[in-house]
Amino acid sequence: MGIKSLIVDIDNTLMYWGAKNPDERAKELLNYLVNEGFKVCLLSNSSKRRITRFKGDIDIEYYSAFGIKPMKKMFEGALKILNSKPNETCCIGDQIYTDVLGAKRCGIITILVDPTEKKNLLRQK
């Protein structure tokens, strides 16, 4: 499909909601994607501090700005960091109304995944 870049959500996509650090499975996945030649950018509604702490020493990009997904500027910022075009980028996330909607508004291909757990900011049970 010509996908060269990936925009990846953190919460309930890579890890349970609110995780401070990636577990071994998430680290292995991110490192695998980089080793396969993909440019990867984490995109989250979390703070810049949390995202940088989460990515640790994994060789990937992240985008953090004032705004929340599905705002187009969030996805456009990730595309700029990745130096990638929408048709060569795929967004992976667990939320239809944030990850998928925002990416689709920018012409980015999407993959909707099952959430890692049912609990999130809105549903704390």
Q: What is the pLDDT of residues 60-70, one digit of tens each?
A: 999 988 778 99
In this prediction, residue 115 carries a pLDDT of 93
Residue 114 contacts by C-beta under 8 Å, 6 or more apart in sequence?
A: 94
The closest of 12, 84, 6 to 46, measured between CA atoms, is 12
pLDDT-derived band at 125, boundaries 50, 70, 90: very low
In this prediction, residue 104 carries a pLDDT of 98
101, 70 Cβ separation under 8 angstroms:
yes
Residue 122 has pLDDT above 70, yes or no: no
- pLDDT tens digits for range 33-75: 999 999 999 999 888 888 998 898 899 999 988 778 999 999 9
Q: Is 112 helix (H, G, I), strand (E, B) or coil?
A: strand
Cα 114 from chain centre: 14
Q: Tell me how far apart the alpha carbons of residues 82 and 68 are, in angstroms, rounded to a whole number.
A: 19
Other beta carbons within 10 angstroms of residue 23's beta carbon come to: 12
